Amino acid sequence: MLDYSALAATLGEELLQKIRSTRVLMVGTGGIGCELLKNLVAAGFANIECIDFDAIDVSNLNRQFLFRKAHVGRPKSEVARESALRFNPDANIVAHCGSIFDAQFGTAYFSSFGLVFNALDNLPARRHVNRLCLSTNTPLIESGTAGYLGQVTVIRKDATECFECQPKPTPKTYPVCTIRTTPSAPIHCIVWAKYMFAKVFGAVDDDDVDDDGSGSDEGGEGGDEEKVAMLQAMAQTRKSGAQLRAMDAPQLFDYLFSEQIASLLAMDVLWKTRTPPQIISWAEATGAGDKEACEAGPSAAGGLRSQKVWSVAEAAQAFAASHAALVAQYAAAGERPLLSFDKDAADCMRFVTALANLRARCFSIAPSSEFDAKAMAGNIIPAIATTNAIAAGLMVVEAVKLLREAADECRTSFIMQYPTRGRKARYLNAGPVAPPNPQCFVCQAQFVTLAINTVATPLSFFVDAVLRGHFALQEPSIEVGSAVVYESGEGAEDMDDQLPKMLDAVRITDSAHVSVTDYLQDCEFTFVIAHDPGLAPGADESDGRFRILRADHAKRKREDDQAGEAKRAKPNEEPTQS
């Protein structure tokens, strides 16, 4: 049993009882979550529920200290509960192994808690929790870490900015043509290697990949002549996944690093301003071309193997060894022998690292160690246990402020990698929580003016790219006037025949007021449509297939409308005589 005397002396008996009686929800039991759950039970919180859908992996053990090797494969939330109860057996901890997007964790569920803690590492889930807390007026303590950097803040409806008041960076994407024909950075080689893994052992085929070169990348591609040459080069040596699986290691090696490179070299226009790639054959890479000598893989001598940059010969050895292992796994997989890339699976990671390094050697790009390749392949930002611990401690500090009704003392805290300059150098900086952004469509603006080509844009794009993509809605329903245009969710499949229709065919036209509701998130706002024929339906979102022109709060919208009506109703005044 936990001795509460020290807590009572520090916090006061009244506040301690409030802490013990308040029901709190913790979303995420990973790096921050493990530290947070330990802190909560140690601080006297006695009614805790936690949600996490993930299972424990061996790669979690270096920083998620509530887990041990024997727990690998078990649900994180359940093991975290068991471990935390050892700190305070009196605590009532309920663990849920499930997704925060499940219908059971809706507004009714969230409204039963006095505080919510976010310990998540992905944007969609954090947005979802943010909206549920706003809709139920439940204070949210939001956190995030990235390496040595971290942030903790408090979100309260109408009092502070919400998680979506400030734009979040979008994931980096790379044009297909750059990846396949003119790579210039290690990440390009990693992305190509992951694609080849999926092509050989997974469900990806060329028909599943967009070859138009769309996507975002600094520097972009050349003109139309280059683009045509790239597409020709890709088409000339294209082989199906089945054809690639039929090859042994030397044949696949020569196809990827000899035949394909030779095809690219034949396209002179690609190399007018670039260094042409170099062919690497299996015989050259392995010396005598001895396949059996390669299947043991590269030597681990000379330091940590994962941090060693392989030579061409060592990369070829790793390629052959991992290829043999993956072929065996594929053959043993049964009727659906599809393998998925897993950064924590040794054979997968070595295969991708070998392919990426050999590709890099062909294009005179610096090769990467297996450690660095894993970070890029898994989009990994190294997790630092101490950063997570600091963030979790700050979350409990902010929670105590809220429970003692001192919300005005809440702070947004920033954990820094390097100390700030000046007389008071600090690794931890705190400032007032920012007020709501009046342009935020989630917590403030309820009217959004949207420019879109209503004649040439299908409803499917509006639903998938605008509502689900840009606005992160889960189950949007659309009404124009009193007519229901579209509904999503269980039992609404009969509305799917609306999706191919153009917007103007479903009454979404210029100046239309389109009401959108997501009952799962209890989120509702109105689009004011501005038809713009200049927005090309063939362009991607970043090129301006739609644009957000304005976001207005309901009160300000009414005031503007009333002012406009008054101005229109006022008779024209006679000009005064000078």
Catalytic positions? 177
SS3 110: helix
Nearest by Cα to 439 from 429, 451, 449: 449
To the nearest 10 degrees (0 to 180), the angle between helices 312-331 and 346-362 is: 140
165 is an annotated ligand-binding site residue: yes
322 is an annotated ligand-binding site residue: no
298 is an annotated ligand-binding site residue: no
12 is an annotated ligand-binding site residue: no
29 is an annotated ligand-binding site residue: yes
Rounded to a whole number of angstroms, the distance between the first and last alpha carbons of the chain is: 91
Residue 560 CA, chain-centre distance (Å), reads 38
Helices vs. strands in the chain: H and E counts, helices first: 20, 14
97 is an annotated ligand-binding site residue: no
How far is Cα 256 from Cα 243, in angstroms, rounded to an integer?
Answer: 13
62 is an annotated ligand-binding site residue: yes
443 is an annotated ligand-binding site residue: yes
Q: Is the dihedral of CA 209, 210, 212, 215 positive or negative?
A: negative
Give the angle 113-517-156 at the CA atoms, nearest 5°. 35
123 is an annotated ligand-binding site residue: yes
464 is an annotated ligand-binding site residue: no
459 is an annotated ligand-binding site residue: no
Please give the sequence-ordered ranges of beta strands (E in DSSP) within 407-521, or none if there are none.
Answer: 411-415, 428-432, 445-452, 476-480, 483-486, 513-518
* List of residues 6+ apart from 92 with CB closer than 8 A: 46, 47, 48
92 is an annotated ligand-binding site residue: no
Q: Is the dihedral of CA 82, 88, 89, 95 positive or negative?
A: negative
Beta-strand relationship, 428-432 and 546-553: unpaired
To the nearest 10 degrees (0 to 180), the angle between helices 346-362 and 186-201 is: 130
99 is an annotated ligand-binding site residue: yes
66 is an annotated ligand-binding site residue: no
50 is an annotated ligand-binding site residue: no
33 is an annotated ligand-binding site residue: yes
Nearest by Cα to 20 from 117, 139, 156, 114: 114
544 is an annotated ligand-binding site residue: no
The partner residues of 95 in beta bridges, in order of sequence, read: 50
Nearest by Cα to 486 from 511, 468, 510: 468
Beta-strand relationship, 149-155 and 483-486: unpaired
88 is an annotated ligand-binding site residue: no
The partner residues of 51 in beta bridges, in order of sequence, read: 27, 96
440 is an annotated ligand-binding site residue: yes
Task: Count CB-CB contacts under 10 A for residue 21.
Answer: 12
294 is an annotated ligand-binding site residue: no
How far is Cα 442 from Cα 168, in angstroms, rounded to an integer?
Answer: 14
121 is an annotated ligand-binding site residue: yes
Q: Is the dihedral of CA 96, 102, 104, 106 positive or negative?
A: positive
303 is an annotated ligand-binding site residue: no
Binding-site residue ranges for Zn(2+): 162, 165, 440, 443
Binding-site residue ranges: 28-33, 52, 60-63, 76, 99-100, 121-126, 162, 165, 440, 443
Binding-site residue ranges for ATP: 28-33, 52, 60-63, 76, 99-100, 121-126
